[in-house]
Structure formats: structure tokens, C-alpha cells
Amino acid sequence: MRKGAATRLRIVEAAAAEIRERGTNATTLDDVCRRSGTGKGQMFYYFPGGREQLLLAVAELEAERVFDDQQPYLNELTSRAAWEAWRDLIVERYRDQGLHCPLGVLIADVGRYSPAAQAVSAQLVRRWQECVRAGIEATQAAGEANPALDADRTAAAVIATVQGGVTVLLSTGSAEHLEAGLNLCLDHLLSWPATNEIASSPPPRRTSRTGSPARAAKSAEE
């Protein structure tokens, strides 16, 4: 990485760290300069638009981290085992990150600061939903998910469940609701094969002690 790019990244990461700890409103450019070891001149060289441009860069950084935190499973959701591994990773990662998780920064703080930052959040949700939808379709094609489910609507519900669970986590410090919500989503998505097999099985044929149904009917006539 070139020196200029490295300096810019250091400023953005410092701003992101300050916002995670203090919130957008309490974070000043002086705080970011002090944390990144840069001066105001460097700050405005890389971010001539000042605070708003820097917050947009933070939103973009955190959006990428949301995806990085879900790899390699997000792009490999093709089976029950893959979905369960993805769920476990999300719950563990967000439980460990707690109040400092990048998704929380986006949905609860910087992502609401400006229309440009909101656009970054909206793009994240669309991209994320496309990945989950592709995983649902692949799992349906493999015969491990209910083919009757609308993949796009189900993907939207999964994303909403994660975001809702993270919101509760930010309020309570507990990932219990996030885990419960994802478990319910996966049950809905992946329980089809066993349920379908039971539902589609023909009822057992009743036979008499005399043998086949035909013989039983003949005996009854006699």
C-alpha cells in the first residue's frame, strides 16, 4: 500500500474506533487526529469535505467489515452445514465485538448521519441480501431447502433478523435474541426435507390377518 493510501486508511480507522467508543456526535476531528497521529493539514488533504466526507469513508469501511466478518461462509451457503456454520460465526463474532461491531455502528450511528451514509447502508443491505438469496437458491437446488419459499423475501427476512438481533445486542449486551432469531430462520428454511417426506408419504395400507387387502375384502364378502 502506498504511503498516502496508508495514511488515509489510518485516519479512517481512527475515526471508526472513536465512533465505536464514543458515538458520532461526541467524536471530533481533533480526537481523530490525536488517535491517528496526524495533523489537521493531513486530515483536510485527504478529506477536503471535512467531517461529513470522513464519516462517509467510515461508513464504507464498516460496510466492508460487515462482509469480511461473514467470510468465507457468506459466499458458500449451499448446504445445511454451511448455513449452520455461517450462523455460528455471526453469533460468535457479534457477541465478541459487542457494542463495537461494525454493523451496529452503521445501523445505530454513522449510517444515519447523512443521505450519503444512508446510501452506503442501503447498498450494503442490497448486496448482503443478494448473497443470502443466492445461498437460498443454491440450497433449494441441492434439495436441502423448501423449494416453495420465495428466495428474495426469505433473504430479506434473514437480514432483518440479523439487524434486529444486533440492535437488541447494542441495547442489552446479549446476543441471545440474535441467536434465537437466526435459529428460527434456519428452521424455516432447512426443515423442509424431513417435513416434506412425512407429509408426502402415503398412508399405510391396512391388511387383515388373512394377508393382502384383496384377500381381506374377499373374506369380508364371504
**pLDDT, mean of residues 108-134:** 87
- The SS3 assignment for 37 reads coil
214 pLDDT above the threshold of 50: no
**pLDDT, mean of residues 93-105:** 87
How far apart are the C-alpha atoms of 163 and 160, rounded to whole Å? 5
88 pLDDT above the threshold of 60: yes
**pLDDT, mean of residues 160-179:** 93
- Least confident range from 29-33, 112-116, 139-143: namely 112-116
How far apart are the C-alpha atoms of 95 and 174, rounded to whole Å? 7
**Greatest mean pLDDT range, 21-30, 142-151, 213-222:** 142-151
183 pLDDT above the threshold of 90: yes
What is the DSSP secondary structure assignment for residue 50, as one 8-state letter?
A: T
What is the pLDDT, as a whole number, of residue 193?
58
What is the pLDDT, as a whole number, of residue 213?
41
- Least confident range from 87-101, 178-192, 197-211: namely 197-211
* Overall pTM surpassing 0.85 (yes/no): no
What letters, b where the CB count within 10 A reaches 16 and e where it falls short, cover 129-168?
A: bebbbbbbbbbbeeebbbeebebeebbbbbbebbbebbbb
Average pLDDT over the chain, rounded to whole? Answer: 85
How far apart are the C-alpha atoms of 141 and 62, rounded to whole Å? 33
